[in-house]
Structure formats: structure tokens, C-alpha cells
A and B are shown apart, each in its own frame.
Chain A
């Protein structure tokens, strides 16, 4: 099942996501933020993001964001609303905290809808098309290739420790066990890297990969880019009108 957004070129989607995230960062007026939220929800719907997984991701609030949401209502001067533990909560502060929460979630939705739905290798090719340096793109491609293997390696080590009855405690034994597991993971990684290097050299690898050819942009891509420009203009107009 292809989502409507899948018809848009990956390069356009990456650029559009960056533009929308930056605009959302800049605007502050409630009207502009509400419009941005509507756009983000629309994108999430047309990317067919799975509601359950999305809700789980949105419910996971980063620690720093949580701290800011608690601090900001008290640290912005303005009309007092309530006093908590001797600190004064202000109406302006509450509004700022609400705006922060909206901004973080809008940025997250836009990124997951436009970029998160791309196959990782397609993302890397799109970045190459957007003039990201070749070496960085190659690094990204190899990282995509080996990240899952590394995670499985580490998961096996953790599982093995659990099977042997490992319980972390503040003790020297815990520290040594953790260090040996982490060290083993790194030694396995370097040994794997050496095998990969040898295998690639056997096949004549000298550090160059073929440059992917990107398909020409279509009318759909033009319309999408136009849509992003329009949304940006509307958001900025709402911001300036406030």
C-alpha cells in the first residue's frame, strides 16, 4: 500500500521537512502554531503513519523537554496564576510551555511523515542528490548496513549476561562485567571491520562507490515544493499579523 506522500521525490521530502521544521521553530503566534499543527497532522495522515506507533512515539517525551515544560511556566515573567512551592506560575509562562509542546510535536510529526517513511538507503541516496559530501553518504550507507548487526551483537551479549544471572549492582564485579561485555562488542566490531575490508579489497574496492543516479523531478514534486512555499508564506503571514 503506497501512501500519497510516496509519490514525492525523496530529495524534495528531505528539503521540505527541513524547511517546515525551521519555520515551525521561528513562529511564536498561536494562530501560526495552530496552522503548523494542522499541516503536520495532514502530513502524518497522508504518510499513513500508524496511529498506535505514532502515539507511542509522541508519548515518549525526552527528559530535557520535560524539564523545560516544568520550568518555563515559572520562569517567564507575567500575570501570576498560581503559586507552587513558593514559585509563581504565570499565564505567559503557561502559554510559552504550551507553544513549546506544540513545536516539538509538530517538528516530530513532520520529520516522521516526510523523512521517517523513507527506506534508509533511499534517504542516503536523496542526501547524495542534495549535495551532501560523498564520503558522508558512504559512511551513512555503511552505518545503515551494519547498525542492525551491531545491535544484534550487543543484544546477544546482554542476553548472555542475563542468562548467567547478571544483576547490575554498584560493585567492582558489575563494572568489570559491563566493561568486558562492551569491550567484547568493540573487539567483535573491529574484527568484523577487518573481514569486511579484506572481502572488499578482494573485489577491488579502493574506496569508491558508484554514484547513484537520481530520477528527474516530476510535476508532483513541483507541486509539493510549491505547497511547502505556500505553507511557509501562510505561517509567516499569520506570525506577522499577530
Chain B
């Protein structure tokens, strides 16, 4: 879910670049240098998971797992997503160079925001409630990302206006899928590696 170079207007690209630079800078300041390998390996796993297409009826969906990434990586998700987008733009031509900022804001901003809101529940609540909170955060993350993308299109060009509601509508099924899958993954992680979600590892069997 990102925008190609050549689609957005220069002011929107510039605004996205400024916002992304601020966010990535903030994330980098909170990233201990010794934690860089760990962040990169986890980001690579999220990236790899998002490349898997799950066949669904006549089409297929890609999981984004943004909400879960926000919960696991926290503020580090911002530089991690920026780095992943650099690779995607350079190696495969997906997204693009001028759109790096906007795409970082669309893909990493919502995960970090929703995770900040949901984290207290995910860390402290009983497992079923923690999983539900994570699922809700995942759906909210998809909704926010789709809204940001629609806003970027709408602000770029009035002629794109009819596409904005379409972008949001096509993401509604993904919201549901992300919510249930993320809740299930969190349920699994709470048993297998609760420390990944910031819970103490004492409850591990």
C-alpha cells in the first residue's frame, strides 16, 4: 500500500518528506546503536511477511501487520520502514524516491500512533483482552493509513478526488483481516515470546 512517484504533487511530496524526516529522526534518536541489528532482523521479518499473498476468493490480499509492527518495534518502526522503503524503491521500483517521505508517513505513522495508544492494554491486560486490543489497533492502523493515502491524493490534485473514497473502501476488508490475524498472532506471541510485546517473560512456560 504505497504511492508511486509521478502521482503526487510537489507540495504534498515536500510536506511528506518534512514529516517523515522529523519522525525518522525521532525514531533514530531513540534507537540505541547496539539495538540496530535486532531492529533490522525484526523489520526484515515484517517486510518478508508483507510480501506473502494470501489467496482470497478471486483475488489475494497482502497482510500489512502495521499494528503489530508498531507494538513490537515502537518508535523504531519509523526508521525501519523508511529503510525498507528505500530498498523497495531502489531494488524493485515500488514506491519511489520522491515519494519516500509520504510513503513513510502513510505506512509507519499509523502503526506507531495506534501502538502507543494500545500498548498499556497489550502489556498489562489478561491475554484475551490484550489480543483484542492489538486487533483493534491493527484495524485502526489500516484505517488511518488508508485515510492518509486518500488525503495525500486529494491534496495533490482535485481530479483525484473521486479516487479517495475508493482507496478507503478497498481497504475495509483488509481492516477486518488484519484485526483477526493480528489478534491471533498476539495470542500466539503472548504464549511463545511475551517479551516481544513488552511483557515480562516470567509467564513463559
Give me the interface of A with B, judged by CB distance under 8 Å.
Answer: 17-18, 21-22, 24-26, 57, 62-65, 67-68, 71-72, 74-76, 93, 96, 100, 103-108, 111-112, 115-116, 118, 120, 123, 127, 133, 135-136, 138-140, 142-147, 149-151, 153-154, 158, 168, 175-176, 178-180, 182-183, 185-190, 192-194, 196-197, 200, 205-208
- Asked whether B143 is an interface residue with its Cβ less than 8 Å from the other chain, the reply is no
Asked whether, in the complex, the Cβ of B159 is within 8 Å of the Cβ of A150, the reply is no
Interface size on B, residues (CB 8 A): 75
**Smallest CB separation, A106 vs chain B (Å):** 7
Closest to A179 in B: B184
**Smallest CB separation, A209 vs chain B (Å):** 9
- Would you mind naming 5 contact pairs between A and B with Cβ atoms under 8 Å apart? A64-B7, A144-B87, A154-B49, A179-B181, A190-B41
Q: Which residues of A sit under 8 angstroms from B13, Cβ to Cβ? A: 22, 25
Q: Which residues of B sit under 8 angstroms from A200, Cβ to Cβ? A: 37
- Asked whether B120 is an interface residue with its Cβ less than 8 Å from the other chain, the reply is no
Q: Which residues of A sit under 8 angstroms from B5, Cβ to Cβ? A: 21, 24-25, 103-104, 107-108, 111
Counted as pairs of residues, one from A and one from B, with CB atoms less than 8 Å apart, the total is 238
Asked whether, in the complex, the Cβ of B10 is within 8 Å of the Cβ of A25, the reply is yes
Q: Which residues of B sit under 8 angstroms from A206, Cβ to Cβ? A: 33-34
Q: Which residues of A sit under 8 angstroms from B189, Cβ to Cβ? A: 183, 186-187
Give me the interface of B with A, judged by CB distance under 8 Å.
Answer: 3-10, 13, 24-25, 28, 31-34, 36-49, 51-52, 54-56, 63, 65, 72, 79-80, 82-84, 86-87, 89-94, 96-98, 149, 153, 158-163, 166-167, 170, 180-181, 184-185, 187-189, 192-193, 196
Asked whether, in the complex, the Cβ of B41 is within 8 Å of the Cβ of A104, the reply is no
**Smallest CB separation, A115 vs chain B (Å):** 5
Instruction: Give the most central of A65, A71, A123, A205: most B CB within 10 Å.
Output: A71
Asked whether, in the complex, the Cβ of A133 is within 8 Å of the Cβ of B28, the reply is yes
